[in-house]
Structure 1
Amino acid sequence: MLLETREAPQVIARQLTENEPLVAALVQALRGRRPAYAVTVARGSSDHACTVIKYALETQLGLPVASLGPSVLTLYGTRLNLAGALVLAVSQSGASPDVVENVRVAREQGALTVALVNVEDSDLARAAEFSLPLRCGEEGAVAATKSFLASLTALLPVIAGLHGDAALTTALAQLPARLTAALELEGAAAELAERYRFAENLIVLARGLNYGVAHEAALKLKETSGVHAEAYSAAEFSHGPKRLLVEGLPLLGFTSADAAWPAVQAAYADLVGSRADLRTIGPATDSTLQTPQTGHLLTDPVACAMTFYLFAAHLALHRGLDPDQPPLLSKVTRTR
């Protein structure tokens, strides 16, 4: 897990270079067909990446995005009307039958289908009209790291092209270097993880573009350390779940440097005022573990997620566990 997290800067640099002609073709297709809305199809870490992608498409392109329940088709036998939609499927393996079948049927209906997939000759890559490879190479640890991070970046050049966002294009070019700088935080991440060594429960908070990162963080804590972690919107946490503070549950919050931060900062201040045990990760200057700003609100979550992976791997090691081989789990899960 640590080795593969450290590979992320090289993976993303390779992806940005090698995907250029594929990005250009997809941008041209989207300009010509102009989908009115988008849906995502994914499970696990890939679904959390889709949550980040949702916020990116909605905030930058004004394109509404919904998460598709794969079982509506594969278990209930209902074919949703996706004609004219943009259908995005994300998968490291490209092997899960339910995701593949949803993309195949959506394409038959006339949707513009796009697969973000690491295994380039997979069933999913063949089923979709367009495929953007993640370019991760083999990923050995059960817990996805570099493939999740590459899923966050694969569509960003497309958004930059459609939006005419020169700042995003520049931020993407600089992102491998910024992520390399973030790897220098590994010692600090390991030190922060030490204080959670005996935690049995943990609440993860975020909002906006980092909301999907928070859900990914909660999943990784379950997978690699056996911590019962749950993710909440920093706004929604006060609508009932805040009661858990009385039980002494620790909080881990993600910070940002975008339009969501003032509201999140106020929510965190309120929690600290309620004597919550809160530590934070992100680019805000008052973060417990401050990540490098990457030059754009869409690329900052990549640095947040990568830094968290360093934290999560070291937490497992502090607890005497092997983060690469969690019990009961396998690398590829085929859901029907």
Structure 2
Amino acid sequence: MTTPDPLMLQEAREAPQVVARQLRENADAARALAAAIRERRPPYAVTIARGSSDHACTVLKYALETQLSLPVASLGPSVYTLYGARLDLRGALVIAVSQSGASPDVVENVRMARQGGALTVALVNVEDSDLAREAEFVLPLKCGEERAVAATKSYLASLTALLPVVADLAGDAALSRALETLPDALERTLGLEDAARDLAERYRFADNLLVLARGLHFGVAQEAALKLKETCGIHAEAYSAAEFSHGPKRLLAEGVPLLGFAPADAAQSATAAAYADLRSNGADLRTLGPASGSTLTTPATGHALTDPVPSALAFYLFAAHLALHRGLNPDAPPLLSKVTKTR
């Protein structure tokens, strides 16, 4: 009898359908939010999230800053929930991201921000959640039920939910076209599963792994490091490819392997130069991303803001198969459960 694939793989493979459904069903909500932002003209934005959702916010930060020149900061939820400080967020754009919408600290911060005069937005999968009720605007992730402990399709949907709003505000027709064809690019990414499985084999016995990236891919690197810990029991950390060449570069002398995300956007040449320097110093480095010549080359999407989505999906295929290579079940990581409620 054939053993079914882990839920992590099954749900990751739903990504093309999830993104297509989200873009289709959220069109009116995205237009309404873009109109509100255009009218209120927030001078800055803050994000509120934890875990994988916070890593998606890192990608959104680069998107908002590079396309809209809107400064973005990550709000520490405990500043309010533990320390009792009510931040002055009048006029700010506050973006909360959560699959479940159930974490009290995220919900309470959104309530505080809205009461204080912020424009609040929730990117959430559970549409009748506390978080969805507290936010002024909601962009549903449209993932359907996510049963795997390791989030995949909800992270990918968090990367895309706000992009139609960015395209509207920036008047970016190229981004709109890239979003229309993104489900097809994700379908082609699924065709890389055998190559991802083969790449994962070389890390089968790794105890440590450093994940490098720059720019829009850095939030994907953060997510990759989390998933390697969560599903594979590997101690992994994410570093900027620029910052790694300072103190952390010392770890090359210990033979720690590297996995680098290779972008095809404005960060491409700087990232490639950093990787070439590391290889000249003996680094064991393989790469994943849309840049030509990557160890695992993901489909180009036609826009810098959509390129990280296939990269993240390809990594999920890699991570799930790495767990299987190590004799582990990525759906049953020790000590973890699906929803963590933090105060």
Give TM-score scaled by structure 2 length. 0.98
1:42 maps onto 2:30 in alignment: no
Of 240, 243, 256 in structure 2, the residue corresponding to residue 236 of structure 1 is 243
1:79 maps onto 2:82 in alignment: no
1:295 maps onto 2:311 in alignment: no
Q: CA deviation at 1:286?
A: 1.2
Of 141, 153, 157 in structure 1, the residue corresponding to residue 160 of structure 2 is 153
Runs of 5+ unmatched residues, structure 2: 1-7
Q: CA deviation at 1:9?
A: 0.4
User: Paired residue for 1:93?
Assistant: 100
How many percent of aligned residue pairs carry the same amino acid?
77
1:15 maps onto 2:22 in alignment: yes
Q: CA deviation at 1:239?
A: 1.0
User: Paired residue for 1:102?
Assistant: 109
Matches within 5 A, 1:49-198: 49-198=56-205
Of 313, 316, 327 in structure 1, the residue corresponding to residue 323 of structure 2 is 316
Give TM-score scaled by structure 1 length. 1.00
SS in 2 for 1:249: coil
- The CA distance in 1 between the partners of 2:26 and 2:164, in whole Å, is 9
SS in 2 for 1:331: coil
Read off the aligned partner of 1:248 and give its amino acid letter: G
SS in 1 for 2:230: helix
Q: CA deviation at 1:27?
A: 0.7
SS in 2 for 1:39: strand
Of 329, 332, 336 in structure 1, the residue corresponding to residue 339 of structure 2 is 332
> C-alpha deviations, 1:253-284, integer Å up to 9, x for none?
00011011100000000000001000000011
SS in 2 for 1:241: helix
User: Paired residue for 2:4?
Assistant: none
Matches within 5 A, 1:278-289: 278-289=285-296
Q: CA deviation at 1:128?
A: 0.3
Q: CA deviation at 1:246?
A: 0.3
User: Number of residues paired by the alignment?
Assistant: 336
Q: CA deviation at 1:325?
A: 1.2
- The CA distance in 1 between the partners of 2:18 and 2:333, in whole Å, is 24
> C-alpha deviations, 1:273-309, integer Å up to 9, x for none?
0010000000111100000001100000000000000
Read off the aligned partner of 2:57 and give its amino acid letter: C
Q: CA deviation at 1:331?
A: 0.3
- The CA distance in 1 between the partners of 2:332 and 2:233, in whole Å, is 12
Of 248, 263, 283 in structure 2, the residue corresponding to residue 256 of structure 1 is 263
> C-alpha deviations, 1:1-56, integer Å up to 9, x for none?
00000000000000000001101110110010000000000000000000000000
- The CA distance in 2 between the partners of 1:202 and 1:105, in whole Å, is 39
Read off the aligned partner of 2:206 and give its amino acid letter: A
> C-alpha deviations, 1:79-117, integer Å up to 9, x for none?
010000000000000000000000001000110000000
User: Paired residue for 1:25?
Assistant: 32
Read off the aligned partner of 2:247 and give its amino acid letter: G
